[in-house]
Amino acid sequence: MTVRDLSIYPARPRPVLSVLVFAAVLIWIDTSILGIALEHLADPAAGLDATPGQLQWAVGAYSLLFATALFAAGALGDRYGHRTILVLGLLGFGAASVWAAWAGDATSLILARGLMGLGGAMMMPTSMAIIGVTFPPERRAGAIAAWSASSGVGVALGPLLGGVLVDHFWWGSVFLVNLPVVVLALIGIALYVPNPRQAHRRRPDPAGLVLSTGGLALLAYGLIEAGQDTGWGSPRVWISVLAGLALLTGFAVLEWRSAEPSFDPRLFRDGRFSAGNVALAALFFGITGQMFYGNFYLQGARGMTALGTGLAFLPGALGVALGSGLGARLARRHGVGVVSGTGLLVVGAAFLANLGFGLHTPLVLFCAVGLVSGVAMGCAIAPTVAAVIAVLPADRMGAGSAVNNTVRQVGSVLGIAVLGTVLTTAYRDRIAPALAALPAAARDAASPSAEHTRAVADVLHRPDLASAADHAFISAMHITAASAAGATLLGGILLLVAFRGRRPTPVPSGAASTEVAV
């Protein structure tokens, strides 16, 4: 028996959808709001004196737990009721937000962010399952589209809300914005949302959860640690990377042999499914890295306010929303390979355009590049997601969608780990000559990041050192942008080759659309 067999179709489904959309905004706000606070978190005086590696973990911990816990959350919803797991996810998200807001050190913030990612993972599949049993087949596609629109709202609101809060309060206030949403969502859930369960209950996969989480965490740890003083030759780096790869290999073997895998690696035997997912992972790899260095560029090197930074990122978010609808229409006419592949190539070109950004680049140029990049992202993501799911048999679409969601989150984790490390190592190499004449203690304090260098420059009354930090960061940013561009351009080429000469498979609608989303 499937979810559809248990449909209850309440007489007033719109309040149910409204509550779920409102709750989902939490997930997407927190994918973008922390970036606005990174500059302040790195501040030795007003922040947590966080190192670049700790900031990478603060961003990556959210995506890591979100990616690896998605499957477990869906299975728990089948067994104990999807509303029950949704409520637990919201409560965990709220508690973690309070913890993050008053975190006394970077380690506490990282742990709180991981718990927030776990809460988000518990909310996403359960919300989709509830939509599936609330709306009849002919109305599900529209309900899913409305729920999905919350992602655009959250991503756009995150930097703006974060900018206002950071400028007027303190960095921790960016997390407290979650609390009113949690409270109102819990009230709405209690009043309107049903608690469906699956007749066929998927078995929890604790071994898979441990292997995937541990493997990805060790891999990310090794990659991030390489950007610190240890370097790539340190045993701590390569042992962590090899151990992470070994655990992830064990996870793939376990799932391959399982009769009911939570993550089905057999789906990658389809070439187009593999190519589409790899290309999307490459895109999210580049996006995450660009957002990471972009915040430091605007607030640190250029001295913009947090709100000004949020406004500068707004054209990109609006571009994604515009490009999503445009991409779907163009793909129906010209094919997925041409539209999505070209979209990734344009995004890669936009990353390359970052190589022209300096300390005095007109802000309108930054916004224009962001808008073009955002439209291209939207044109690439929506058709590619639809295409990689549509190549699968109908009974495998749900599993394929879950794999697709996870792969994109993994791309984000690796993006912040790899590109953050590229940024850190490039900066440290370029600032070293300017720090050579400083006493050892001052040199060690100034070397981790541009924020630390500027703090030391303020103490020593050395404006020339602060200027050197800005120029070293710009150079490091260019190297990081080129790396992000390379990955994205390869993804675009892969899509052009894999889907060449093919018209897109029609996007499923109605009941099939629900299976894809869930």
Report the pLDDT averaged over residues 332-351.
Answer: 89
For residue 6, give the DSSP letter.
Answer: G
Per the structure block, which two tokens stand in for 22?
């409102």
For residue 259, give the DSSP letter.
Answer: S
Distances in whole angstroms, Cα of residue 151 to Cα of each of 35, 130, 385, 400, 457 = 17, 18, 15, 20, 41
Q: Which pLDDT tens digit goes with each residue over 352-385?
A: 999 999 999 999 999 999 999 989 988 888 788 7
Whether residue 25 has pLDDT greater than 60? yes
Burial (0-12, 13-18, 19+ Cβ within 10 Å), 202 = middle
Whether residue 269 has pLDDT greater than 70? yes
Residue 231 φ/ψ region, left for φ over 0, alpha for ψ in the -120 to 50 degree band, beta for the rest: left
List Cβ neighbours of 252 (8 Å cut-off, separation of 6 or more): 265
Angle at 319 between CA 506 and CA 69, to 5 degrees: 65
Q: Which band of pLDDT confidence, cut at 50, 70 and 90, is reported for residue 89?
A: very high
Lowest mean pLDDT among 37-46, 73-82, 323-332, 398-407: 398-407
**Distance (Å, rounded) from C-alpha 47 to C-alpha 37?**
9
Q: Which band of pLDDT confidence, cut at 50, 70 and 90, is reported for residue 231?
A: low
The CA dihedral of 452, 454, 460, 464, to the nearest 10 degrees, is 140
**CB neighbourhood size of 45 (10 A):** 8
**CB neighbourhood size of 260 (10 A):** 12
The label of the residue with tokens 């998200």 reads 93
8 A C-beta contact, residue 223 and residue 414: yes
Out of 129-143, 277-291, 377-391, 402-416, the most confident range is 277-291
Higher pLDDT, 495 or 31: 495
**Distance (Å, rounded) from C-alpha 505 to C-alpha 277?**
16
Q: What is the pTM of this model?
A: 0.83
pLDDT of residue 229: 65
Which residue from 488, 470, 474, 468 is spatially nearest to 354, judged by alpha carbons?
A: 474
